Structure 1
Amino acid sequence: MVYCGYEKQTVPGPIVMQYPDYIHWCSWSSRVSLELPFRFEEGEEDRENACATYSENTGGDGGPGTMVMSRVTSVPVDQEEAFIKLAEESSRIPPEAACTRRDTYADGVPALEQELSFVDERVGGPVVRRELFAQIGNLVFSLAALIPRDRAAAQQQELDHTFGSLRFVLIPALERYGRTFCHGGAQVSVHIPTDWDVQEISEQQVRFFGPPSAQHDDYRPTFSVALGKPEGFGDEWLEGFLDQIRANMAESYRNFTIDSLTTISLSSLVEAHVMQYRWEPEPGLAFVQIQALIVVDMFRMYLINAASLEPLAETYLPVFEEILRSLRILGQPPTG
């Protein structure tokens, strides 16, 4: 995953904010989460046909832009390789298209990716259609990009990122496959190491547990995500709220020390205000922890806490950072 805006600051340096190169989009219709370049816009969310489209804003240069579509299709439960069949059927449309195909993975799931070159009369010229097909259970997921051929080379790296960013948004709450975890109550998707366990603490909170350390009485590092409602809104309120949190912790946590303050810009267009700190609940027992606050809007705020024993911090601080940077805000799942 590629993100801009991760600036490590040592106290008391300023918090630095930059915007991401890619924006996260979540489609509950197609059960797909992905990242597109900043200039793409959501076109249509079609629940009836279980698909979503996104269009490139070309800035008025007169030429057609790239179109991206995600879709999910239900198939009979006994058709375990239906995604291969759907890919083959798509490769024959139009019949004169030249097609190349390769095996790959999408979000840890075996997939087929193919590229077709042909002339599209609707676009008014030659195009490249890049497609990916994958299957989980009886659901076949597809992602397609229709690219004017004269833009294909310039956009290859961007679309590599988009296709590589694909995640499948599967609910119920504790549904998990590979390293991706989605939670409908907390409305998030994150990448978690495959040897970590998950526990639902409440309807809007989940906690992940790392592997036990035999050298430290089977201690397990933790990473939790909780969704709540902020008591206020706006920059002034947020600055005061963060200051109050730090003051309270300095007063109540033994040997409390702030290592760094950081702002991370996530592709869901939210800022994670991160504090790395250490403290000692008792002599000889020291923890290094991460606390992150994400205010989405007037109604949603995330509190993220991650903890490691100090001797294990060198191992787990990079893991905490990777999990945090992978976090995507999904929004409220549809009802009915």
Structure 2
Amino acid sequence: MSVQTPSRIHFFSWHTKVSLELPVGFEEASESPEVNAAMYADDLDEDDPLGGRVLVRASAVPDGDETAWQRLADESAGLPGRETVWRRDLEVDGLDVRMQLLRYAQDDIDVEVVRLEAFAQAADVVFSITGLAPADRQDEYVPGYEHAVTTARFVLL
């Protein structure tokens, strides 16, 4: 009988109300209850090479603003210097989601990065999942970020 080693680990934040799976090696880096955010990373040690980061947020929007999630995706993709590699609309956990992959120069660390973003909205809350990685490691990180988005659960209490 062979035992398979898990390739993913499950995370949940009470502040974001989002549950997701990330590749083994990621750890919770921080939680910010004041802005309903959680950060996960796989390069927490100083000796680690520059790796991946995932930021999950839950943001309140005004009642009746049902397209805030789409507008946020459009505004992020439209920032100067960002190239949209691809964009997809899908359904995750019963919510419409816009997922997009962007590429740009991250000037503060002098590195070209890829940014996988996903936005969803339930009533007056926009959920965002953002995965960042060095562009030269895109093939290593983006599939894991896509998995995190497609397996996300939005816990609406």
Common topology (TM > 0.5)? yes
Q: Secondary structure at the match of 1:104?
A: strand
Q: Secondary structure at the match of 1:48?
A: helix
C-alpha distance in 1 between matches for 2:146 and 2:6: 16
Amino acid in the other structure paired with 1:42: E
How many residues are matched?
156
- Residue aligning to 1:158: 144
Please say if residues 16 and 57 of structure 2, whose CA atoms lie closer than 8 Å, have aligned partners that are also in contact. Answer: yes
User: 5+ residue gaps in structure 2?
Assistant: none
Amino acid in the other structure paired with 1:98: E
C-alpha distance in 1 between matches for 2:150 and 2:22: 11
- Residue aligning to 1:80: 66
Q: 1:27 to 1:58 in 2, by over 3 A?
A: closer
Amino acid in the other structure paired with 1:102: R
- Residue aligning to 1:70: 56
Please say if residues 64 and 123 of structure 1, whose CA atoms lie closer than 8 Å, have aligned partners that are also in contact. Answer: no
Within 5 A, what are the aligned runs for 1:108-127?
A: 108-127=94-113
Q: CA deviation at 1:38?
A: 1.0
Q: CA deviation at 1:150?
A: 0.9
C-alpha distance in 2 between matches for 1:23 and 1:164: 14
Within 5 A, what are the aligned runs for 1:96-175?
A: 96-99=81-84, 100-171=86-157
Aligned counterpart for 2:19 among listed residues 26, 33, 36: 33
- Residue aligning to 1:22: 8
Please say if residues 92 and 153 of structure 2, whose CA atoms lie closer than 8 Å, have aligned partners that are also in contact. Answer: yes
C-alpha distance in 1 between matches for 2:111 and 2:9: 29
Please say if residues 90 and 98 of structure 2, whose CA atoms lie closer than 8 Å, have aligned partners that are also in contact. Answer: yes
Q: Report the aligned-residue RMSD.
A: 2.0
Q: Secondary structure at the match of 1:83?
A: helix
Q: CA deviation at 1:163?
A: 1.5
Q: Deviations over 1:240-267 (max 9, x none)?
A: xxxxxxxxxxxxxxxxxxxxxxxxxxxx
Q: TM-score, normalised by structure 2?
A: 0.90
Amino acid in the other structure paired with 1:155: Y
Within 5 A, what are the aligned runs for 1:242-261?
A: none
Q: Deviations over 1:76-124 (max 9, x none)?
A: 121111111111122233x111113221122221111111111102332
Q: TM-score, normalised by structure 1?
A: 0.44
C-alpha distance in 2 between matches for 1:119 and 1:17: 42
